[in-house]
Amino acid sequence: MKLIFRPYSKTSFGLSLGLTVFYLSLLVIIPLSALFFKSATLGVSGLWEVLTENRIQQALYLSFGAGGVAAIINLFVGFLFAWVLVRYDFPGKKILDSLVDLPFTLPTAVAGIALTTIYAPNGFIGKYLTPYGIKIAYTPIGIVIALVFIGFPFVVRTVQPILEDLPKELEESAYCLGASRFQTFTKVILPELIPSLLAGTSMAFARGIGEYGSVVFISGNLPGKTEILPLLIVTKLEQYEYAKATGIAVLMLVLSFTIMFGINYLQNRASRRLG
């Protein structure tokens, strides 16, 4: 029996494309356009004044700096988790695999309260560090820890399926040709994982710079020290300064998009090389 492949008709393509564009406009384009229009009411001089305000710049450096550091940590921590879950069998493996998704399901405010309880000066861990002059809660270090907690599952879940589907024959062939374990990892395994590592790291970074719930408690919200941009946006909204709040949001949007575009470009280049 001969099977005949019939391509999708132009009608179904037009309907699918129309629904896609409609939902994209409804969920993304229209809200972002409103954001730009609202911030435009400040004018160029007003917007520049907002963006050059010392308090906002300090919050900007903290948000993107802490988000970048946390993303780099998540790159290694997430890869380690994925490697252990795929390459080794041990008691409690399924439980550990389930716990990886906990930051996805746990309310961020609960995560922030839990981390503050642990790392505060009188917390379970903080009380042992305080005598040595080490402070974690209410410092940038606490913010980084919170961002690592909510971001590492992105790296784990993007790298894990690639590791599982990686043919074992590639490694065996490398061993047969005389390659060491280090050479096999750097020349055979790692190139296959680079696109997924970049994808997971970029998602962890994007989640980190916009995170609010888990950071607002452990940061202490000290202006100029531990105040993040999302909190500053909420503060401006509570003060009915809507144009300034949207101006800060536009700044975050532009910077985030630029960084994500660069990461996606590197990811696509790596994918094309593998292809």
For position 147, which CATH number holds?
1.10.3720.10
pLDDT in tens, 78-94: 999 999 998 888 898 88
User: Does 135 score more than 60 pLDDT?
Assistant: yes
Mean pLDDT over all residues of the chain? 83
The single-letter code of the amino acid at 213 is: G
pLDDT in tens, 203-234: 899 888 888 888 888 888 888 788 888 888 88
Coil, strand or helix at 194: helix
CA distances from 274 to 77, 161, 189, 194, 212 (A): 24, 17, 12, 10, 37
- Candidates 113, 104, 117; CA nearest to 150 is 104
Residue 213 lies inside a defined structural domain of this protein? yes
pLDDT in tens, 148-205: 999 989 999 999 998 888 877 777 787 787 778 888 888 888 888 888 898 889 889 9
The confidence score (pLDDT) of residue 227 equals: 86
Residue 97 lies inside a defined structural domain of this protein? yes
| All residues at 6 or more sequence positions from 113 whose CB lies less than 8 Å from its CB, including other chains | 217
Residue 48 lies inside a defined structural domain of this protein? no
Coil, strand or helix at 101: coil
Start-to-end Cα distance in the chain: 35
d(CA 93, CA 91) in angstroms, rounded, equals 6
* DSSP state letter for 131: G
pTM: predicted TM-score of the whole model, two decimal places: 0.83
Domain range holding 126? 60-272
User: Does 269 score more than 80 pLDDT?
Assistant: no
Helix, strand, coil in percent for the chain, rounding step 5: 80, 0, 20
Q: What is the mean pLDDT of residues 46-57?
A: 82
